[in-house]
C-alpha cells in the first residue's frame, strides 16, 4: 500500500492523537504532572505502576472531569469470565480505551461487556524482538505474530490493536482501515532504553497509526510541556494542521 494511503483519515482531533503514558509512582505526582502539562496533552494512559500505587480510579475520574481522555492500560489477562466482569466495571466511567491480552475467548469476553469503552488487543510488546519471542516459544517473526493476533482480535469485536509502528503498514495493507492502531515505543530521538521495536513520531503515523503513546521522551525531558508541544507540532505537520 502506498505510504500516503497509510495516513489515518479518521475523524480524530490532531491534538488527541498523542497519548501520554502517565507512568509515575503516585497519583499525587500524576496530578502535578497533568497540571504542568496543561493543554499540551489531551489524552492520558494509566498503567500498572499507578494502579499499584492506589487512587487509580479516583485519578481516572479526575481526568475525565477535566475533559481529558483516559486509556486504562491494565492489559487484562485472566479467565474469560473474570476479564468480562473487569471490563464491565469500566462502563460509565468515561474511559475511552482499555487493553486486553490473550486468546479469542478472552478478547471476546471483554468485547461482550465493553459498552462505551473501546477494546484494544495487545499484539506483541514493543520491548520484545524475535529473540525474545523464541524464548517465549513462538517460532515466528514479530510481524507474523502481530498480524495473526490482530486478525483474531478484530474478528471477535475488538476496536483496534496496540502495535509497533514497524508492523502497522502490514496491518493496514492486510486488514484495511476500519480499526484503530495505537502505537507505543515512540522515540523522537535515538533510543537508549528497553524498547526494541521503535519508530519516531512521523514514521508511526505515516505507517498507519491512528494514535501514538509517548512516555519517557516527555516525562524525562527538561521541560515536559515543551517536549509534548514539540510532538504536537510534528503531528500537526503530518496531518496538515
Q: What pLDDT digit, counting tens, does each position of 84-97 carry?
A: 999 999 999 999 99
Q: Give the mean pLDDT of the chain.
A: 88
Whichever domain contains 130, its CATH number is 3.20.20.70
> Is there a contact between 33 and 216 (Cβ–Cβ < 8 Å)?
no
- Domain housing 144: 3-238
> Helices in 80-141 by DSSP H: which ranges?
80-88, 104-112, 130-135
Q: In this structure, what C-alpha cell is assigned to residue 71?
A: 486509556
How many domains does the chain fold into?
Answer: 1
pLDDT per residue as tens digits for the range 122-174:
876 555 555 654 565 554 566 777 788 899 999 999 999 998 888 889 899 99
Q: How far apart are CA 77 and CA 113, in angstroms?
A: 15
Reported as type and span, the H/E element at residue 97 is: strand 97-100
Using the structure block, give the residue that is written with the C-alpha cell 481526568.
Answer: 63
pLDDT per residue as tens digits for the range 165-204:
888 898 999 999 999 999 998 866 444 444 455 689 999 9
3-class DSSP state of 162: strand
Q: Could you give the residue numbers annotated as active site?
A: 75
pTM of the model: 0.89
Higher pLDDT, 3 or 217: 217
Q: pLDDT confidence of 4, banded at 50, 70, 90?
A: very low
Amino acid at each position: 500500500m502506498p505510504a500516503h494511503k497509510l495516513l489515518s483519515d479518521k475523524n480524530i482531533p490532531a491534538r488527541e492523537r498523542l497519548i501520554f503514558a502517565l507512568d509515575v509512582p503516585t497519583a499525587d505526582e500524576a496530578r502535578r504532572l497533568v497540571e504542568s502539562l496543561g493543554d499540551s496533552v489531551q489524552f492520558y494512559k494509566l498503567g500498572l505502576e499507578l494502579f499499584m500505587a492506589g487512587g487509580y480510579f479516583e485519578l481516572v475520574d479526575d481526568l475525565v472531569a477535566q475533559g481529558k481522555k483516559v486509556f486504562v492500560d491494565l492489559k487484562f489477562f485472566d479467565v474469560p469470565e473474570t476479564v468480562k466482569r473487569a471490563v464491565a466495571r469500566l462502563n460509565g466511567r468515561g474511559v475511552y480505551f482499555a487493553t486486553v491480552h490473550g486468546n479469542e475467548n478472552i478478547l471476546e469476553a471483554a468485547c461482550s461487556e465493553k459498552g462505551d469503552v473501546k477494546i484494544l488487543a495487545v499484539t506483541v510488546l514493543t520491548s520484545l524482538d524475535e529473540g525474545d519471542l523464541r524464548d517465549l516459544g513462538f517460532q515466528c517473526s514479530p510481524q507474523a505474530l502481530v498480524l495473526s493476533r490482530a486478525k483474531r482480535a478484530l474478528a471477535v469485536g475488538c476496536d483496534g490493536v496496540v502495535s509497533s509502528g514497524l508492523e502497522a503498514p502490514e496491518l493496514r495493507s492486510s486488514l484495511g482501515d476500519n480499526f484503530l492502531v495505537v502505537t507505543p515505543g515512540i522515540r523522537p530521538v535515538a533510543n537508549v532504553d528497553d524498547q526494541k521495536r521503535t519508530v519516531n513520531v512521523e514514521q508511526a503515523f505515516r505507517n498507519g497509526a491512528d494514535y501514538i503513546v509517548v512516555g519517557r521522551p516527555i516525562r524525562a525531558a527538561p521541560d515536559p510541556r515543551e517536549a509534548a508541544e514539540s510532538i504536537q507540532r510534528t503531528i500537526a505537520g503530518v496531518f496538515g494542521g
